[in-house]
């Protein structure tokens, strides 16, 4: 696990965009296409806005979701709403290349299986993402892998549905999918994340984030999150 500290959240987002762009260009060059998965949150939105200015093979890039709240389409709580605005409406990503989690399906368990098959059609079986972008919650969660949720124990599926968290169930990539990615990129900003970041780097705490493999992993943080 490698750590890069930047001055502020904007600089962290820009550096993360650089790393994603490099990974996408390498994947497209070596395998003909790139498949990445991104998480939600304010700093990641800045990161994706920065990504729009990078030289990328957009027609050969597929962007998947790390997790999604099970709410109606267009709900501002859904990550997809911002992803569509930034990457498709205001950006060069073809709409078909944004692989949305099918949380509108009446049967979310079946929908999770469908999403896994969709990702496997682009990333092989077993699924191997070229890069997965992760955030770090104040309770130590990442993706929608939250403390105490049974999804943390899943080892035979790459996509699953959680119990209720902050009032909503979510669809999420599981630990096996995160661990199988060629690269992992953590983006952490803000003083509220400082203690959890220390735990992630130490790798010793009993939090979901620490269960994600540490090899081929880059952590980018701002000065506030690096406090201590």
Q: Report if residue 184 sits inside a domain.
A: yes
Q: Do the domain assignments include residue 143?
A: yes
Look up the CATH number of the domain holding residue 118: 3.40.50.1360
Phi-psi region of 199 (alpha: psi -120 to 50; beta: other; left: phi over 0): alpha
In a domain, 227, yes or no: no
* Residue 167 within any structural domain of the chain: yes
Query: Could you list the residue range(s) of the whole structural domain that residue 127 is in?
Result: 2-222
pLDDT digits 0-9 by tens, 139-161: 999 999 999 999 999 999 999 99
Other beta carbons less than 10 A from residue 32's beta carbon: 9
Residue 228 pLDDT: 64
What is residue 192's three-state secondary structure?
helix
Residues of the chain with pLDDT under 70: 228
Strands 184-188, 159-161: pairing is unpaired
- Could you tell me the two tokens for 62? 């597929």
- Overall domain count for the chain: 1
φ, ψ for residue 177, nearest 5 deg: -65, -45
β-strand pairing of 217-222 with 2-6: parallel
φ, ψ of residue 68 to 5 degrees: the values are -155, 140
User: Is 228 among the domain residues?
Assistant: no
Position 42 scores a pLDDT of: 79
The answer for 88, left when phi > 0, alpha when psi is -120 to 50, beta otherwise, is alpha
In a domain, residue 218? The reply is yes
pLDDT at 227: 87
In a domain, 120, yes or no: yes
Residue 43 lies in a domain: yes
Which has the closest alpha carbon to 153: 208, 203, 214, 213? 208
């Amino acid at each position: 696990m490698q750590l890069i500290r930047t001055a502020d959240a904007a600089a962290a987002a820009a550096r993360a965009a650089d790393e994603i762009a490099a990974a996408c260009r390498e994947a497209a060059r070596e395998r003909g296409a790139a498949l990445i998965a991104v998480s939600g949150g304010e700093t990641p939105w800045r990161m994706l806005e920065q990504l729009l200015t990078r030289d990328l093979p957009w027609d050969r890039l597929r962007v998947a979701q790390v997790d999604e709240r099970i709410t109606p389409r267009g709900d501002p709580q859904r990550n997809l709403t911002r992803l569509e605005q930034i990457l498709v409406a205001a950006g060069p990503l073809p709409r078909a290349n944004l692989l949305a989690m099918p949380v509108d399906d009446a049967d979310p368990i079946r929908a999770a299986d469908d999403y896994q098959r969709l990702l496997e059609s682009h990333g092989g079986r077993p699924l191997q993402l070229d890069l997965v972008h992760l955030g770090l919650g104040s309770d130590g969660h990442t993706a929608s892998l939250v403390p105490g949720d049974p999804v943390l124990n899943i080892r035979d599926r790459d996509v699953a549905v959680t119990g209720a968290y902050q009032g909503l169930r979510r669809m999420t990539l599981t630990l096996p999918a995160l661990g199988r990615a060629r690269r992992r990129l953590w983006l952490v900003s803000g003083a509220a994340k400082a203690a959890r970041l220390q735990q992630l780097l130490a790798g010793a705490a009993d939090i979901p984030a620490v269960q994600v493999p540490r090899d081929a992993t880059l952590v980018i943080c701002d000065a506030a999150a690096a406090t201590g």
